[in-house]
Chains A and B, each alone.
Chain A
């Protein structure tokens, strides 16, 4: 039995588009909320045995001259307070005042401050590292598939498209979460996105390597059927590896503590998406590319049934 992975490629592309378009919409309207690391400011993560109400805290902070403070309750009696960049003197003053106002319930807090100039540098770094990683990956794949000559680059580019797909799914999801629930992204999130990129390429390479091997074993066979049974042969591995990774992430999400939640969520979504794109998108792009090339070559006439392999 052969599942028709290649013949139905436009259905799979359509499903991907369906997943990506809403996310891109929310990205475009600025749904992705940068954390203080990326926009500058101070984050106080306060811990109370019995937390005061958000309005009460806001009043206290306004009285101290920080009416811009945004208060958000979190699990375990924690309250997150975001303000503009505070100097350490100001931070200490806020902490002492809170300690005095809530002597019995205030426990302790974590404070972090990033100045706006430094955060701009972090954003540039994050973007630069993603671009740089993509270029290196194209080159690595082109090298790994060098026996295909110039076509090797189309494998690299297909892998990058699959990778962008996964990055967009996760970015889109967090744009939606940011828009509706004020979920912020920090450098841990950038780390998650880069890990997803690595995993996505990892998955795609396994499928591509199988296509290469099968093209080698069955010289002269049409490309589409080879892609089809290559995906079939790697299907079990793709699903099982994702499953084991998702199992560990599940443990991280449930038991790893509050700060790990967003990180684990981003990774789970990215890895499921990475598996989908490696099965349903990456090789289909190679197939589409070949079909277009054949059509251009046989301008006027019908292309040969199923595109030919170029290997």
Chain B
């Protein structure tokens, strides 16, 4: 193990600790919340922070099932395209709400995962996600005398909300009732004006998702494509309708197959408890290792802190979203991370007991423990990969943390521990065999310093 490796590991350790420190509390050395780039006068940055899952920061999660078979008249669009279109519409709706960092992903072809951090109103979330917002204007059926039959029919082609300019809420009348103002864009504006001529003094029906909202009488011939939707709106419901119309209609009916909501306070409580559990777990393992293995134990603990800092830094960099299960996986991995060290140390002890020198024992110990470490870690990574593939949400997070944990612990055990072990035997005072957990060699009881390679 050469000097370059040692420096590389020191640099990694310093970087990891720097990434781990919350930047908003400690803006040193740069006044920038993460990794900053300066490219030709333009500066940009990637914010480094811990991404908490919904169960830790609070919010609402929905899993939506697409139902293309419920589209009236059927469809020729493929399920993948419908999925993409639906996600675009939901994304627009959510953007106008100002939810920070929403997650909108497809789960297979026929499902969509929607996560809304900070939204704790389940009803609101479901409305945003599943209301089709299909607006259609229908005209009255007339008998031969031109009198109203009380029913309505669609125009050909139907006059729908597909061609609207952005709508907005305004207040009308003596009681300031909220209404939604809409305006058709060309060519539907001409049809709207024509419609007002054809059906002057007659009602037209405004339908949303197949239900009548209102059927106002046309009082005069319109001069533009503009109109209003009245209904018994509150300001909030009027705003919601306006948002839905602006984002466009969903191309396919959706059903909520899974929903969950976590209150932010409960999430914070979980974070605090997990943190306490993690620190205590780490300290218990550290204490045990030092008591049992002495000097190598101290080295294992240094490696363990290196492991913890680096793993957490990688979580913040990738970023890996930490869920409750993920945090549990991380804490668990602290216990498992020492395994590679334990394997190596047990081997070193054996070699030392067969009266080999320290240096030879270290090398033999590493060489012989390596296949066990490699294949046992591969087995864990395999199961984690399967978890990642088949699992949903929570399970995926757990699997990802486990994979990162195993890879980092492998790196730590193979490089960092070895480096520290070899560094330690450079000091004569650290070469006493008793420090390594075995008896002094019978032939060199006089001088510990003579026990060298």
**Which A residues are within 8 Å of any B CB, using their own CB?**
47, 87-89, 91-92, 108-115, 117-118, 122, 125-126, 128-129, 132-133, 136-137, 140-141, 144, 187-188, 190-191, 194-195, 197-199, 201-203, 205-206, 209-210, 213, 233-234, 236-237, 240-241, 243-252, 254-257, 259-260, 263-264, 267
Contacts of B270 in A (CB 8 A): 257, 259
Contacts of B334 in A (CB 8 A): 248
* B418 nearest CB across to chain A (Å): 17
Size class of the B contact interface (CB-based, 8 Å) = 35 or more
Contacts of B375 in A (CB 8 A): 140-141, 144, 205, 209
Name the contact of A201 in the complex, choosing from B122, B324, B376 (C-beta under 8 A).
B376
With A128-B390, A241-B339 already in contact, the answer to whether A115 and B256 are too (CB < 8 A) is yes
Contacts of A197 in B (CB 8 A): 383
Contacts of A140 in B (CB 8 A): 375, 378-379, 382
A111's nearest neighbour on chain B, judged by CB, is B261
Query: Which residues of chain B (168-225) have a CB below 8 Å from chain A?
Result: none
State whether A209 touches B274 (Cβ < 8 A): no
State whether A202 touches B123 (Cβ < 8 A): no
The 9 closest A-B pairs by CB, nearest first: A112-B260, A245-B335, A251-B281, A248-B281, A248-B335, A118-B257, A129-B390, A198-B383, A257-B273
Contacts of A203 in B (CB 8 A): 376
Interface of B (DSSP majority class): helix
B261's nearest neighbour on chain A, judged by CB, is A111
State whether B394 touches A191 (Cβ < 8 A): yes
A212's nearest neighbour on chain B, judged by CB, is B371
B235-278 interface mask toward A, CB cutoff 8 Å, 1 = contact, 0 = none?
A: 00000000000000000000111111111011001100110111
CA distance A81 to B196 in the complex (A): 55
State whether B122 touches A115 (Cβ < 8 A): no
B338-378 interface mask toward A, CB cutoff 8 Å, 1 = contact, 0 = none?
A: 11001100100010000000000000000010011001111
B94-129 interface mask toward A, CB cutoff 8 Å, 1 = contact, 0 = none?
A: 000000000000000000000000000011011000
Contacts of A128 in B (CB 8 A): 390
State whether A108 touches B263 (Cβ < 8 A): yes
With A92-B123, A255-B273 already in contact, the answer to whether A110 and B284 are too (CB < 8 A) is no
State whether A114 touches B258 (Cβ < 8 A): yes
Contacts of A111 in B (CB 8 A): 122, 259-261
B394's nearest neighbour on chain A, judged by CB, is A187
User: Does any Cβ of A come within 8 Å of B65's Cβ?
Assistant: yes
State whether A241 touches B324 (Cβ < 8 A): no
Instruction: Choose among B276, B377, B391 the residue with the greatest number of A CB atoms under 10 Å from its CB.
Output: B391
Name the contact of A257 in the complex, choosing from B123, B256, B274, B389 (C-beta under 8 A).
B274
Contacts of B336 in A (CB 8 A): 199, 202, 241, 244-245
Contacts of A241 in B (CB 8 A): 336, 338-339, 342-343
User: Does any Cβ of A come within 8 Å of B82's Cβ?
Assistant: no
State whether A206 touches B343 (Cβ < 8 A): yes
* A296 nearest CB across to chain B (Å): 30
User: Does any Cβ of A come within 8 Å of B48's Cβ?
Assistant: no
Binds A, one of B38-46, B140-148, B285-293: B285-293
Query: Which residues of chain B (9-59) have a CB below 8 Å from chain A?
Result: none
State whether B278 touches A260 (Cβ < 8 A): no
State whether A125 touches B391 (Cβ < 8 A): yes
User: Does any Cβ of A come within 8 Å of B386's Cβ?
Assistant: yes
State whether A236 touches B260 (Cβ < 8 A): no
Contacts of A252 in B (CB 8 A): 277, 281, 328, 331-332
